[in-house]
Amino acid sequence: MFPNVKGDMACFPWRVFWIIQALVDVTLSQETYAPHSIRIEGDLTLGGLFPVHARGVSGEPCGDIKKENGIHRLEAMLYALDQINSDDELLPNITLGARVLDTCSRDTYALEQSLTFVQALIQKDTSDVRCTNGEPPVFVKPEKVVGVIGASASSVSIMVANILRLFQIPQISYASTAPELSDDRRYDFFSRVVPPDSFQAQAMVDIVKLMGWNYVSTVASEGSYGEKGVEAFMQISREAGGICIAQSLKIPHDHKQADFDKIIRQLLDTSLARAVIIFAYDEDIRGILNASKRADQVGHFLWIGSDSWGAKNSTIQGLEDAAIGAVTILPKRATVEGFDNYFTSRTLENNRRNVWFAEFWEENFNCKLMSSSKKEDTSRKCTVFGLFNRGPGLRHQAPPPSTLQQPQDIICSRGYDLGWAEGQERIGIDSYYEQEGKVQFVIDAVYAMAHALHNMQKDLCPDQSGVCGEMEHAGGKKLLKYIRSVSFNGSTGTSVTFNRNGDAPGRYNLFQYQMNINSTPRYKVIGEWAETLKLHINEMQWPNGEMKIPISVCSLPCKTGQRKKIVKGMPCCWHCEPCDGYQYQFDETSCKLCAYNMRPNANHTGCQPIPIVKLEWHSPWAIIPVFLAMLGIIATTFVMATFIRYNDTPIVRASGRELSYVLLTGIFLCYIITFVMIAMPDIAVCSFRRIFLGLGMCISYAALLTKTNRIYRIFEEGKKSVTPPKLISPTSQLAITSSLISVQLLGVLIWFGVDPPNTIIDYDEQKTINPDKARGVLKCDITDLQIICSLGYSILLMVTCTIYAIKTRGVPENFNEAKPIGFTMYTTCIVWLAFIPIFFGTAQSAEKLYIQTTTLTISMNLSASVALGMLYMPKVYVIIFHPELNVQKRKRSFKAVATAATMTSRLSHKPSDRPNGEAKTELCENVDPNSLAAKKKYVSYNDLVI
C-alpha cells in the first residue's frame, strides 16, 4: 500500500534518508526481546503512541508507569480496534491490527520508537546478518503502518510528525493541542480530534474576564505545549485588553524540587495575582502543587489548569488540598460506557496483549506480582493463581537509546516465556477507577482512521471486499484526504470532523475541583465553552471557604472621587489619587476643576453651586455696628430735637444753627449708612451705598471745615485789622458747605453715569482651601478702590479740617468751638488711621466682607459719635440741665475778638511759658473780668455770634 522508499527517493532529502537508514540498521543489529511494544495482527496496521511511562530521571529514558495517560488511553485504542473489528459494517472483511509503542513522555525517545513505523518502507540489506548457529535469519516482513494514532504530548507529536510526514504516514492525535500543529504546511500529515490550544487560551481568557480578574500569572512546562499555550493566552488577553500578566514562568525539562520552590516564591512576589494559568504536564503540575504546600500557600493560588490537568485524579493524588478551587479545562467529552465495562473487566489473564498490563496491575493494586518485581514501595503480594515465568521481570525496562528495541519478530530470537498469572483483584472494585478524560478522543481517533480506510476501500475497491491492490498502493496522501473528510458520530454521539488544518472544533468542558457534601474532593462540571463561555458561577467553590469570587487584581478599584493613576506599562496597576480641592472626578483617570461658581459635591463625583452668602442682620459682624448706629441715631435725633426745641435759645443760636443742623444731618447719615451697608444688596441698596457712603462724612466734615476755616479766618483777620473777614455769615457758611458737598455729589453722579450700580456674586472672596467652606458673596459692584475714592474726598475734608483745628488750637477756649472741633478731628483722624490698615489688611481674608463692612461702619459710627459727643452733648447738657446758663450775656464785638487774637498771637510766641501753646485764663480775664467759672461755661457759647 505504501510506496517503496527507494522507489520514491526523489521526495526525500538524501541526508535525512541516510540518517534514518543508519538508525534502522542499528536497530536491526541490536536484538532485544523485552516486550516494549504491543503487536496486534491485522490486515492493516495502525501505529499507536502512548505515554505509558513518565519521563525517566537520572539518565533513564523512562520512569514510572502512567496509569491514566498511558494505560487507559492505550487500552482505549485496543478497545476501539476490538469494536471496529467486530463491526460488520465498518471495514467489513478487514481486520485492523496495531503496533503500539511507549513514548515515555519524551520526544527524543518517541522519535526512536516511531522509526518502527517506517521500517517497512525502507528496504534493508540483510545479506550480512547471520543467526548464532550460522544460518541466515528469516525476517518476518515488518508490518506496514497505514496511520498512527498519537501522540499525547505535543512535543512528542511534533517530533514524530516530522518523520511521519517524510514517509507520508497520516497521524491522528487524541491529545496534542499545541497551536503550532495547526500549521498545515509543516505538519501536513497531522490531524487531531482535539481542538488546538488557541481555543483553550480563548476559553481561559473568557474565564479570567468573567471572574473579574485582571492580574494573572502564567506557568508553563518547557516545550511546545506549555510555552505555545501560554503564548496564545497572552496574545489573546492582550488583544482582549484588560488583563495583565504579572509573571510568566517556565518549568524546565530537567527540573528539581528547588525549581518548583523558586517558581512559587516568584509567584508570591506578585501575590495579588492569585490566579495562575497553568499550561503544564502532569508531573509539573504535581511539582507546583507540592511546592505550594511546602510554602504553606495552600488556598492562596487560584489555578486555571489546561487540558493536561483536565479532570485527572492521578495528577493531584495526595495534593488534593492544594488543588481545591482549581478550574480546569478539558475538550468536551463524555464517558464511554462501553470502555468502562471493557476496562474494568480486564485481568492479567484476558489482557495478555498489553505488555505493560502487569506493571499497571502492580501499580494499580499496589502489590507485587513476584518477589523479583521492581516495585519497591510495597512488599504486599498480588493474589496469584499458579506459577508463571516472566523472564527479565515485570517492571518495564526501557533499552538505552543506543540499543533501540527491536519490534520486529525475528524467528531466530530466543522466545520470551510469558506465564501470566491471574490476579484476583478487580479494577474498579479493588482500586479506584475513573475513565481518563481523553479516552473518548483515543477511540474517536481510531474510528476516524477506520472510517477513512473504510471510505477509501469503498472508493478504491468497489467490487471487492478486503484490501485490494489499489488500496495497497494508494499511499498516505490519499488516506489523509479521506481522513480530513470524515464525518461521523463519535463514541459519545458527538460528531467527529476536521477542519482544513486537521483540527477539531473548539468545545470544552470546564471543571472545578471541589469538596462535595461528604467532604470528598472531586471534579465538578461548572460550565462549558464553545465559542462563548457558559459558567455556572453559583456552583463554584473557593479555597479557604471564601464565599465570594476571590480577587486577582493588581489594584483595587479606586473609591468614588478618586482617579486612577496608571503605573507605566501596566494598565491593570494604578494608584488612586483623590480629586481634591475644587476638582471632581471627570472620568476614571482624570480629575477636573469645577466651574468658578461651583464646588465639588461631597464625594467629588460632580460639581454643585457654591452657596451664596451676604452679611446677615443677625451676624455678630452686623449686630455691633447696628447697635452703635441705633444708639447714635437716637442720640442724634435727641440732639436735633433738643436744638429744634431750643432753637431760639442763646446756646443754640451761638452754635451756629444752620451749620449745626447740617452737621447733625451729616452725623445722622453716618449712622444711617450702617443699615445701608448691611442690607441685602440689590440695585436700590447699591445705589444708596454709593450715594451715602461718602455723603454723611462729607456733610459732617464740610460743615466742620467751614467752621474751623471761619474761626481761622476771623482770628487771622483779627491779627491784621479790626474789620471782619468776608463770608462768615451763616448764609455764606451754608453756601461754602453746600459747595463742598456738591463736589462729592458730582463725583457720585459721574460714578453713576460711568458705571451703573449693580450687584455681583464674588466667588473669589471666600474661595477657601476647603471647598466645603467656599461661599459666593452677594455684594454691590463696588470695589475697594471705589470705596476709598468715595471716602477720599471726605478724608481730604477731614484732614483739612484737622489742619485748621491745629491752626486754631491757640484760640481761646471761649472763642466758640475751636477746641472741641480740634479734639473731634484728632480723634477722628486716629479712628480713620486705624481704619485704613484694617480695611486693606483684610483684603485677602475669607471674612473680608464682614470685617470690612464692620470696620467701615464702626469707624463711621465712631467718628460721628465723636463729633456728636464732643460738639453737641455739652450744649445739650447745658440746655437741659442748666437752663440758667442758657441766657444772653453779651455780644462780643469783632474788636474784642481782634484784641483776643492779638493777645493769643503774642502769647503763642512764648512757647516756653505755655508749652502746649494754649492761652487760657489770661485771655479770658481780659475779655471778661467777671468770675472765671461763669466765663468758662458762658462765654464760649456766646462768642462770635455776629
Q: Which residues of the chain form contacts with ligand GLU (CB under 6 A)?
A: 69, 152-154, 175-178, 225, 307-308, 310, 438
Task: Give 178 or 607: the residue with its C-beta nearer to ligand GLU.
Answer: 178
Q: How far is the CB of 232 from ligand GLU (least distance, A)?
A: 12
Q: Which triple of cell numbers denotes residue 698?
A: 462729607
Measured over the CA atoms of residue 4, residue 8, residue 14 and residue 17, the dihedral's sign is negative
Q: How far is the CB of 40 from ligand GLU (least distance, A)?
A: 23
Nearest-angstrom CA–CA distance, 871 and 677: 26
| CA separation for the pair 665, 696 (Å, rounded) | 8
Comparison of 153 and 291: residue with beta carbon closer to ligand GLU = 153
Q: Are 288 and 315 in contact (CB under 8 A)?
A: no
- In this complex, which beta carbon is closest to ligand GLU, that of residue 183 or of residue 349? 183
Give the C-alpha separation, 366 to 320, whole Å.
Answer: 20
Nearer to ligand GLU, 72 or 564 (CB): 72
Q: Which is nearer to ligand GLU, 253 or 352 (CB)?
A: 253
Cell of 718: 483779627
Category of 419 on φ-ψ map: left (φ > 0), alpha (ψ -120 to 50) or beta: beta
What three-state secondary structure class fits 873? Answer: helix
Question: Whole-number minimum distance, CB 191 to ligand GLU, in Å?
Answer: 14
Helical H segments across 765-888, by residue range: 784-807, 818-841, 848-867, 873-881
Q: Residue holding cell 471557604? A: 545
The least CB distance from residue 46 to ligand GLU, in Å, is 19
Residue 174 C-beta: closest distance to ligand GLU, Å: 9
- Residue spans of alpha helices (H) in 646-729: 650-654, 657-678, 683-720
* Cβ distance to ligand GLU smaller for residue 192 or 274: 192
Closest C-alpha to 285, from 227, 221, 207: 221
- DSSP for 120-175, please give it: GGS----TT---TTSPPP-BPPPPPEEEEE--SSHHHHHHHHHHHHHTT--EEESS
CB 52 → ligand GLU: shortest distance, Å? 12
Nearer to ligand GLU, 105 or 865 (CB): 105
Three-state secondary structure call for residue 53: strand
Tell me the residue type at 658: E
How far apart are CB 311 and ligand GLU at their closest, in Å?
A: 10
Shortest distance (Å) from residue 397 CB to ligand GLU: 24
We find the least distance from the C-beta atom of residue 181 to ligand GLU, in angstroms, to be: 8
Query: Which of 226/776 has CB closer to ligand GLU?
Result: 226
**Other beta carbons less than 10 A from residue 754's beta carbon:** 7
Question: Which residue lies nearer to ligand GLU by CB, 442 or 858?
Answer: 442
The neighbour count for residue 652, using CB atoms within 10 Å, is 22
Q: Is 523 or 835 the residue whose CB approaches ligand GLU more closely? A: 523
The torsion angles phi and psi of 433, rounded to 5 degrees, stand at: -135, 130
Tell me the closest approach of the beta carbon of residue 520 to ligand GLU, in angstroms: 24
Name the minimum Å distance from CB 176 to ligand GLU: 4
Q: How many CB atoms lie within 10 A of CB 576?
A: 14
Q: Which is nearer to ligand GLU, 225 or 692 (CB)?
A: 225
271, three cell numbers = 501575590
- Given the complex with ligand GLU, which of 331 and 694 has the nearer CB atom? 331
Looking at beta carbons only, is 69 or 214 nearer to ligand GLU? 69
Spatial separation of the C-alpha atoms in residues 702 and 689, rounded to whole Å: 19
Please tell me the chain's helix, strand, coil percentages from 3-state DSSP, rounded to the nearest 5. 45, 15, 40
Pick the closer one to ligand GLU by CB: 309 or 712: 309
Smallest separation, CB 508 to ligand GLU (Å)? 12
First to last CA, the chain: 154
Nearer to ligand GLU, 378 or 492 (CB): 492
Q: Report CA dihedral (66, 72, 73, 79) to the nearest 10 degrees.
A: 150
184: cell is 498545515
Minimum CB distance to ligand GLU, residue 127 (Å): 43
Taking residue 477's Cβ as centre, other Cβ atoms within 10 Å add up to 12
Largest CA distance in the chain: 180
- The closest of 532, 452, 536 to 487, measured between CA atoms, is 452
Q: Which helix (H) or strand (E) holds 780?
A: strand 775-780
Residue 531 C-beta: closest distance to ligand GLU, Å: 20
Q: Which three cell numbers stand for residue 487?
A: 464525518
- Grid cell for residue 765: 472672596
Nearer to ligand GLU, 442 or 870 (CB): 442
- Quick check: 802 and 826 in contact, CB under 8 A? yes
The total number of residues written for the chain in this structure: 946
Min dist CB 151 to ligand GLU, Å, is 9
The torsion angle over the Cα atoms of residues 917, 919, 920 and 921, rounded to 10 degrees, is 130
Nearest residue to 743 (alpha-carbon basis) of 792, 708, 689: 792
Minimum distance from residue 2 beta carbon to ligand GLU (Å)? 27
